[in-house]
Chain A
Amino acid sequence: MTAETDLRARGLADRRRRLLAAWADAPGLWGFLTTVDHKRLAARYIVTTMAMLFAAGMLGVDMRLQLAAPDMHRMGPQGYDESFSLHGSTMLFLVSVPVMEAMAMWLVPLMLGQRNMAFPRLNAFSYWMYLEGVLMLWIPHALGFTPDLGWFEYPPLSGPAYAPGHRADVWAQMITFTEVAALCVSVNVVVTIFTMRPPGMTLGRMPLFLWGMLVASFMTVFGLPAVMVVTSMLIADREVATHFFSPSGGGDVLLFQHLYWFFGHPEVYIIFVPGVAFVSSIVETFSRRVVFGYVPMVVAVLAIGVLAFGLWVHHMFAVGLPKMGADFYTAASMAIALPIGVQIFCWIATMFRGRLQLKTPMLWVIGFIVTFVIGGMTGVMTASAPLDLQLTDTYFVVAHLHYVLVGGAIFPLLGAFTYWYPKATGRMMSEVWGRISWALVVVGFNLTFFPMHLLGLMGMPRRIYTYPAEMGWGPLNLLSTVSALITVVGAGIFVLNALLSYWRGRLAGANPWGGSTLEWATPSPPPPYNFDYIPTVDSVAPLWTRDELHALEGLSLDSREVLVTTLVDAKPDNRQKSPKPSLWPLLTALAVGVMFVGSIFSPWPIVWGSVPVAATIVGWFWPTRPRAQRGPLRART
């Protein structure tokens, strides 16, 4: 080793020691409760969503067992109602949206070469709010009052006249918790991408992953307020006797559906677009070339973001719409197939023109393309108002929505999990067991849900707890149930593979797949400060264009500081402090939780509950600066 390299190594070691001192969390429980490290918070989010996925998945299996044969009575109608309500609500609100937010929270700063997100404490607040949402739904379930009106609780069934007690309130307020949590992460993602891109990463050099997360976050910002508004209106109808949804008081039950689906349809894309983002990253890496058609891909994801807000009425074809309205929403629903088609063709072209490596993450992408195309086709079918009138509320819709959500989002998620697992843990998952779990899940899933299309066409309605033998639905239901068990075995192998690989997996190194984006330029797992220097980029695939990355120095090594760059050109503009760990986000979430839970029983907790909320927010944002030396309230010594 020459004197110069020795000096450089010692300089780097000193830099790392100082950065670690500035960015590491306190040890033990205090560090756990106060951390604002995006990686720790996101990992916590992901583990919690996986626990919820397991719980809701088991509910699904329970329902499949119930429907395996005709005239089964192991579960009564109330138990079945509760099962599908808890399954759907958990999967949509406590798994699909938060897990995508969590993936963004984990990956966005790393892909930007940054040390944290724009608002680290908001991430912590978001996680605690989400956890309270989980408890809001599952503690009442343990206590015996489970929501039982499905994952969209339409009035008048959910109104005060037909749903006494607090089951509907529990559902509505669970949504408030989880939507606040999702909005916090989405704001964070938008602001982080807008203001903290590495120098050189112009909008035209942003990885497609970041475009996807940016669009999904904007959709959350504009879509989620609708569900918060509508569930608040429902709670008001139930608690303080407003009349938004009561026809006898001049209200309208369809208003609920309009507002709900104004959120609900974009929600599908809020879940799907991050899936698209994962797919672009995986296809690029395993095709060994940048994704074909960068500009069409970006335009397509932007188009999906806009069009998704013009489709909500196709969930309401059966309510009796004017013909012109139905025609418009049919056309709009079919139009969104175009940008999605563009993306699928671009991925296929990338694979075709690249050097394809069929590693496990790539297999999940192939599973996604096949399954999602089938789901998309049935989507085009149900987008047609006359056909939808026949298919709505049948098992055809159950098949369609699972093809879209599981095929379109969960398969890419499992691929993403496998792809970034080595970065998060420093170890590889087993390829052999990965392939086995992939095969079992993809085949099991298709054999579970494809027969449901046929059952729907045979007239089997959704949400029935049993059916008579003479309907002839028994054999296909049995096939579906057996296949669901195959899927569970595959999922179990996936989980075991992840757990065992955490201790026994092969060491991964920094860039085991040969990825092109910046998260692969830091050790696996990344240190608390993520990067030694602030990288700069000059292409959309920086690790493929340079062996030696260019970087900037000059950010503080002894305090938390981040670099802010300009919106379009990503030129270095200013340095800003990044908040330290704090207990205030947890305290604020607890105060908000008390207010939200209390508001189920009386409107007054919204009034008195706002006092601790305000106090904790003041504590959170109170700047620590010296006391004033001038003025009437100066420090007097």
Chain B
Amino acid sequence: MSEETPAFRVVGDVSALPDYAFGPRSILWWGNSAFMMIEGTAFVLAAAAYLYIRGKGGHWPPPGVRPPDLLWGGLFTAGLLLSELPNRWLQAKTRQFDLASVRFGVLVMTLAGLALAGVRAVELSHINVRWGVDAYASCIWLLMVLHTTHVVTDLGDTAVLCLWMFTHQPGPSQFSDVNDNCSYWTFVVVTWIPIGFLIYLGPRLL
């Protein structure tokens, strides 16, 4: 039992440590990863719901309904996969604190995000069924809305980062922020592979 706090004996000094970090050494990277885990779990559960209802039997899609058109979905998928190239390049540049390249990179990624959101908007009109027709349609739209939310969210994030990088003097932490945003875009790309499969190929193959 003690009334007083124990004495502290100073045995070291941390003032020489860097005041920024990238990747798993950064607090924000872990926060970003944790939210990706949460959202990834939501994707998995939505996909499980799709497969559960598909597993009940019946027509998939229902009679008279065409599966989603491949053209716009294919275009979106190709564009999304290609966007990983500038995204990777940008992520590398953040670690070099190369302001001109990072500004250029976030601008490119903002434009890529805008273009992909535009394609996605067209894609939504080529699903060929409204969500309220039956459970098949509801599942397709659930996956589509979930993924589109992520595309739009990251586009917003990238656009704000782009504006900020052009209007302010970034410190190391802001380069780290852009780095984390690149990781999030990769998450958006990677999750699309199974989700896109279920939306476009599921009705044809499953």
Residues of A within 8 A of B (CB): 118-119, 122, 183, 187, 190-191, 194-196, 199, 221-222, 224-226, 228-229, 233, 236-237, 240-244, 246, 249-252, 255, 258-259, 262, 509-514, 520-523, 532-536, 543, 546-555, 561, 563-564, 566-567, 572-577, 614, 618, 622-623, 625-635
Contact = CB atoms under 8 A, between A and B. Distances in A.
B9 A550 contact: yes
Contacts of A523: 5
Contacts of B8: 532-533, 535, 548-551
Nearest to A262: B45
Nearest to B15: A554
Given A190-B34, A194-B30, A614-B156, A573 B25 contact: yes
Given A190-B30, A573-B17, A575-B19, A250 B169 contact: no
Contacts of B58: 250
17 contacts: A199-B12, A229-B45, A252-B56, A258-B52, A259-B45, A511-B1, A543-B6, A546-B6, A552-B10, A553-B10, A554-B16, A566-B25, A567-B24, A572-B12, A576-B26, A576-B27, A623-B173
A551 B9 contact: yes
A392 B138 CA distance: 32
A626 B14 contact: no
A225 B20 contact: no
Contacts of A243: 132-135, 137-138
B49 interface: yes
B19 A628 contact: no
A221 B2 CA distance: 38
Given A243-B132, A509-B1, A523-B5, A195 B30 contact: yes
Given A222-B41, A534-B14, A633-B167, 13 more contacts: A221-B34, A225-B41, A229-B42, A244-B139, A509-B1, A511-B2, A533-B10, A546-B6, A549-B7, A572-B12, A576-B173, A630-B99, A631-B103
Contacts of A567: 24
A319 to B, nearest CB: 14
B166 to A, nearest CB: 4
Nearest to A217: B34
Contacts of A535: 8
B191 to A, nearest CB: 13
Contacts of A196: 27
Contacts of B3: 509-510
B189 to A, nearest CB: 20
Interface string B152-181: 000010001001101111110110010000
Contacts of B173: 576-577, 623
B31 interface: yes
A345 to B, nearest CB: 29
A499 to B, nearest CB: 24
Given A221-B41, A552-B10, A625-B171, A195 B52 contact: no
A236 B2 CA distance: 58
Interface string B33-75: 0110111011001100100110010100010000000000000
| Interface residue range, chain B | 35 or more
B38 A225 contact: yes
A236 B139 CA distance: 11
B134 A549 contact: no
A574 B17 CA distance: 5
B11 A563 contact: no
A242 B45 contact: no
B37 to A, nearest CB: 5
| Residue among B6, B16, B134, B142 having the largest count of chain A Cβ atoms under 10 Å | B6
A570 to B, nearest CB: 13
Given A187-B38, A242-B141, A574-B21, A555 B14 contact: yes
B34 to A, nearest CB: 4
B89 interface: no
B47 to A, nearest CB: 11
Contacts of A522: 5
Nearest to B103: A631
A251 B53 contact: yes
Nearest to B139: A244
A534 B15 CA distance: 12
A529 B28 CA distance: 21
Contact of A183 (B24, B38, B137, B163): B38
Nearest to B141: A242
A616 to B, nearest CB: 12
B164 A229 contact: no
Given A552-B14, A553-B13, A625-B168, A250 B20 contact: no
A234 to B, nearest CB: 12
Contacts of B62: 250
Contacts of A262: 45
The 6 closest A-B pairs by CB, nearest first: A554-B15, A509-B3, A250-B135, A242-B138, A554-B14, A241-B132
| Residue among A221, A250, A251 having the largest count of chain B Cβ atoms under 10 Å | A250
A520 to B, nearest CB: 8
A574 B19 contact: yes
Given A183-B38, A187-B35, A627-B169, A572 B14 contact: yes
Interface in B99-115: 99, 103
Given A249-B134, A252-B53, A509-B1, A553 B14 contact: yes
Given A243-B138, A514-B1, A628 B167 contact: yes
Contacts of A622: 164
A553 B99 CA distance: 33
A26 to B, nearest CB: 25
B9 A633 contact: no
